């Protein structure tokens, strides 16, 4: 297998883009990545997307995206792993380039969510879960995470406000990210009095949906000579039961554990070597569980890292440095690509006030469903 | 409308019919033919008692399409006395506050209407506090 480098990145602002369609957003991000890479063509196009068939009445995104970005004719396909679609698309593009099948790949994550009323988007998000045994019982995707959070608080004795630092850190960091959905500083008081969505999860525990697209341009590392290179040092995916109730242990992200252990092995690093970690903070509880599964905290102690001030850009393990899902926003199928774009920005030193000093090794972890698909990537600057 | 999809699940929705693994004796719900515990073939039907306790719960305020008119309502993970966890709504709560560990039993209730006024009503299991 060949070493692969990320040569170009692109992203759109995440927002309610009333004036832009799914294809407009895609083109904007794709052209930005092509321009950043200094390339005009790509050997293949890999599109990460969750709900275009439900929300936009549009499937077959491979050729649509290839055609509209001026890459008509080549290999192009859509990859679905619910909210983990972005990282799944990257992993597919990566395997194609690493294997020698393709000499370059354009990976795009896109989601256009706000054309439909929220109740329909809520129903579409729930399709990540078990349709017959979870969704038909009236549980929303937020509700599934709420069930996990309630039990976690019960088992380990945390209060709701103990989760506030995850949201506060994300919002503080997003203030310096021009592509973020939310630019609004929040306090513990804001966090505690926010509108309830599914107890104990309120609006400030949850990441906002939005419209957005992000893109990466992949090439074999040995095709680049001189200068700084951003290498993909590891890519590992793992799965768990689709239904949360089918897991023997709901409070541990087994698939996160498996995928990050494999990623650490591939990259030859451990948790202590990770300078920046863009984790999947769809809900504050997921930040805690991800930190625990990936070896940054003992079980039941992930919340402590936030309370102790260890998650900021100069902390022991900086997370959500560009706002995370919580404040950068969560255009579901695009999120995994945004995370990797942001790790590249950190390794390039482009993050201004939220730059992690001398970041050399960065990790991104994208989750599909309530822990069913978990994909970890580790990047290194050299 | 998806009538066959709901019709196929009638034994599970009305009777909590799962499976028992003939190899390791683990009780499985929902039925899945491959035992999640030992990986063996499990096709022996098993009817659960419907008794269990609340393992976790959430009150849903922002409901998905099809359930908006019911909000707020409470969904729980119920730990069945035979072992499995199921996701289901709680019902007949009255003024009783829900707590983790609360004993509950299965009842059949309307889950939702699939589509407009002329469409099918979907029934299935919910759980209510055990009456003492
Ligand atoms: Zn068995």
Q: How much is the mean pLDDT over chain A?
A: 97
Q: Which of A241, A245, A247 has the most B C-beta neighbours within 10 Å, making it the best mutation to test the interface with B?
A: A245
- The ipTM, to two decimals, is 0.96
Given a cut of 70, whether residue B132 has pLDDT beyond it is: no
The residues near A133 (Cβ < 8 Å, ≥ 6 apart) are: A243, A245, B30, B86, B87
Q: Does B127 touch chain A (CB under 8 A)?
A: no
Residue pLDDT, tens place only, A29-54: 999 999 999 999 999 999 999 999 99
Q: In this structure, what are the phi and psi dihedrals at residue A381, rounded to the nearest 5 degrees? A: -95, 135
A243, exposed or middle or buried, with CB in 10 Å at 0-12, 13-18, 19+?
A: buried
Q: Is residue A260 flagged as an active site residue?
A: no
- Identify the CATH homologous superfamily for domain A118-205+229-381: Thiolase/Chalcone synthase (3.40.47.10)
pLDDT at position B131, please? 79
Active-site residue (options: A17, A171, A280, A330): A330
* CA A230 from centroid of its chain's CA atoms: 18
The boundaries of every CATH 3.40.47.10 domain in chain A are: 4-117+211-223, 118-205+229-381
Q: Which CATH number fits domain A4-117+211-223: 3.40.47.10, 3.40.50.10800, 3.40.50.2000, 3.30.420.40?
A: 3.40.47.10
Set of chain B residues whose Cβ sits within 8 Å of the Cβ of A196: 59, 61
pLDDT at position A177, please? 98
Given a cut of 80, whether residue B118 has pLDDT beyond it is: no
Kindly state the tokens that stand for A161: 């406000």
Is residue B70 within 8 Å of B56, Cβ to Cβ? no
% of chain B with per-residue pLDDT over 90: 77
Global confidence as pTM: 0.97
Q: How far apart are CA B89 and CA B77, in angstroms?
A: 9
Is residue A18 within 8 Å of A48, Cβ to Cβ? no
> What range defines the domain where residue B27 resides?
3-129
The residues near B23 (Cβ < 8 Å, ≥ 6 apart) are: B35, B38, B40, B41, B42
Given a cut of 70, whether residue B28 has pLDDT beyond it is: yes
Given a cut of 80, whether residue B116 has pLDDT beyond it is: no
Q: What is the DSSP letter of B8?
A: H
**Which member of A123, A139, A196 has the closest CB to residue B61?**
A196
Given a cut of 90, whether residue B114 has pLDDT beyond it is: no
Contact B60 A139 (CB under 8 A): yes
pLDDT at position A309, please? 97
Contact B87 A133 (CB under 8 A): yes
pLDDT at position B1, please? 58
**Which member of A134, A138, A147 has the closest CB to residue B56?**
A147
The total of structural domains in chain B comes to 1
Is residue B18 within 8 Å of B28, Cβ to Cβ? yes
pLDDT at position A322, please? 98
The parts of chain A modelled with pLDDT lower than 50 are none
């Amino acid at each position: 297998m060949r070493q692969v480098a990320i040569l170009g990145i692109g992203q759109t602002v995440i927002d309610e883009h009333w004036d832009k369609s799914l294809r407009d957003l895609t083109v904007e991000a794709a052209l930005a990545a092509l321009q950043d890479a200094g390339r005009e063509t790509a050997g293949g196009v890999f599109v990460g997307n969750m709900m275009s068939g439900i929300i936009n009445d549009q499937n077959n995104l491979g050729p649509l995206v290839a055609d509209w970005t001026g890459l008509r004719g080549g290999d192009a396909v859509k990859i679905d792993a619910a909210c983990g679609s972005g990282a799944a698309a990257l992993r597919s593009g990566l395997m194609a380039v690493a294997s020698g099948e393709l000499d370059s790949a354009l990976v795009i994550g896109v989601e256009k969510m706000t054309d439909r009323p929220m109740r329909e988007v809520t129903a579409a998000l729930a399709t990540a879960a078990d349709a017959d045994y979870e969704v038909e019982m009236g549980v929303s995707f937020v509700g599934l995470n709420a069930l996990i959070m309630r039990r976690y608080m019960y088992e380990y004795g945390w209060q709701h406000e103990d989760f506030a630092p995850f949201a506060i850190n994300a919002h503080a960091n997003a203030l310096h990210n021009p592509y973020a959905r939310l630019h609004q500083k929040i306090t513990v008081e804001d966090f505690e009095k926010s509108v309830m969505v599914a107890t104990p999860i309120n609006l400030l525990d949850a990441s906002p949906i939005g419209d957005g697209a992000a893109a990466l341009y992949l090439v074999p590392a040995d095709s680049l000579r001189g200068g700084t290179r951003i290498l993909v040092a590891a890519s590992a995916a793992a799965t768990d039961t689709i239904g949360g109730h089918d897991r023997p242990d709901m409070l541990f992200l087994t698939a996160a554990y498996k995928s990050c252990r494999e990623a650490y092995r591939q990259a030859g690093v451990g948790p202590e070597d990770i300078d920046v970690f863009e984790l999947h903070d769809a809900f504050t509880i997921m930040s805690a569980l991800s930190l625990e599964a990936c070896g940054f905290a003992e079980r039941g102690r992930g919340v402590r890292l936030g309370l102790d001030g260890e998650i900021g850009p100069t902390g022991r393990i900086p997370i959500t440095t560009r706002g995370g899902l919580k404040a950068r926003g969560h255009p579901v199928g695009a999120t995994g690509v945004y995370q990797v774009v942001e790790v590249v920005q950190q390794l390039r030193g482009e993050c201004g006030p939220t730059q992690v000093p001398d970041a050399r090794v960065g990790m991104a972890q994208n989750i599909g469903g309530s822990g069913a698909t978990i994909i970890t990537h580790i990047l290194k600057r050299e | 409308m998806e009538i066959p999809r709901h019709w196929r699940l009638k034994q599970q929705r009305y009777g909590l019919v799962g499976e028992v693994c003939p190899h390791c004796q683990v009780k499985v719900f929902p039925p899945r033919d491959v035992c999640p515990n030992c990986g063996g073939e499990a096709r022996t039907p098993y009817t659960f008692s419907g008794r269990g306790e609340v393992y976790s719960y959430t009150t849903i305020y922002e409901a998905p399409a099809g359930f908006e008119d019911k909000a707020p309502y409470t969904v729980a993970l119920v730990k069945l006395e035979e072992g499995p966890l199921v996701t289901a709504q709680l019902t007949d709560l009255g003024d009783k506050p829900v707590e983790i560990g609360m004993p509950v039993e299965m009842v059949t209730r309307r889950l939702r209407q699939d589509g407009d006024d002329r469409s099918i009503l979907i029934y299935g299991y919910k759980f209510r506090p055990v009456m003492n």
